[in-house]
Chains A and B, each alone.
Chain A
Amino acid sequence: GNSVTQMEGPVTLSEEAFLTINCTYTATGYPSLFWYVQYPGEGLQLLLKATKADDKGSNKGFEATYRKETTSFHLEKGSVQVSDSAVYFCALSDHAGGTSYGKLTFGQGTILTVHP
């Protein structure tokens, strides 16, 4: 079956540091890949997505590239801010095409704390 593995947290960084949160997946077929973010007290929000190999999703300075050869979708940001403190979830959908209408399989989440 499908599975998603994220790097364990928590991750603590100083403001303006470089961020990488690793994510690898196991899936049959051609999944779509997502990063969701959950700010304190709020629901999950879609941060970015990629629907096929070599696609790069980007939003709010975050980027992730769909690497089929390494089955990875690592999240990166060049300079984090205090406001980026949140829980980040990597996820995959077993429906290709980008719409997250299929069932989502989530990683365990990574807590990011950014200090001033």
Chain B
Amino acid sequence: GAVVSQHPSRVICKSGTSVKIECRSLDFQATTMFWYRQFPKQSLMLMATSNEGSKATYEQGVEKDKFLINHASLTLSTLTVTSAHPEDSSFYICSARGYRGTGELFFGEGSRLTVL
């Protein structure tokens, strides 16, 4: 079946640095990708929707300058956490929607960010 891969699965960084997380659709073209954030014991919160070749649409309360999203190709979207701080530590999950078929969403394995 369709596979969405995230990298890295875990990353630890120092406060003030920037971290990039990649989301790839491995065997299908993803016209739309969604980025979620999950806090411990809480539900997934949608951060933004990215469409290939256009600017991402951010949910209310999400800082677009802190969480930079780029969807440069039909198989790759990136989330860059800029000037990361400890409060940005979280589990980030991407999902991708295919170009054809039912448009079912496929999820990546998630990336755990820890900011020291």
Contact = CB atoms under 8 A, between A and B. Distances in A.
Interface of A: 4, 36, 38, 41-46, 89, 98-101, 103-109
B4 interface: yes
Interface residues of B, number: 23
B92 interface: no
Interface in B93-116: 93, 95, 97, 102-110
Contacts of B77: none
B4 A43 contact: yes
Interface in B1-42: 4, 6, 32, 34, 36, 41-42
Contact of B46 (A42, A45, A104): A104
A5 B26 CA distance: 33
Q: Which 8 A-B pairs have the closest CB atoms?
A: A101-B103, A44-B107, A43-B107, A106-B43, A108-B43, A99-B103, A106-B44, A43-B109
A67 B20 CA distance: 42
24 contacts: A4-B43, A43-B4, A43-B6, A43-B107, A43-B108, A43-B110, A44-B93, A44-B107, A45-B107, A46-B104, A89-B44, A99-B102, A100-B103, A101-B32, A103-B34, A104-B34, A104-B44, A104-B46, A104-B105, A106-B36, A106-B44, A107-B43, A108-B41, A108-B42
Contacts of B4: 43
A4 B77 CA distance: 27
Contacts of B93: 43-44
B50 interface: no
Nearest to A10: B41
Contact of B105 (A4, A41, A100, A107): A100
Given A89-B44, A101-B97, A104-B46, A41 B109 contact: yes
Given A43-B93, A89-B43, A100-B105, 19 more contacts: A41-B109, A42-B109, A43-B106, A43-B108, A44-B93, A44-B95, A45-B107, A46-B104, A46-B105, A89-B44, A99-B102, A100-B97, A100-B102, A100-B104, A103-B46, A104-B34, A106-B43, A108-B43, A109-B43
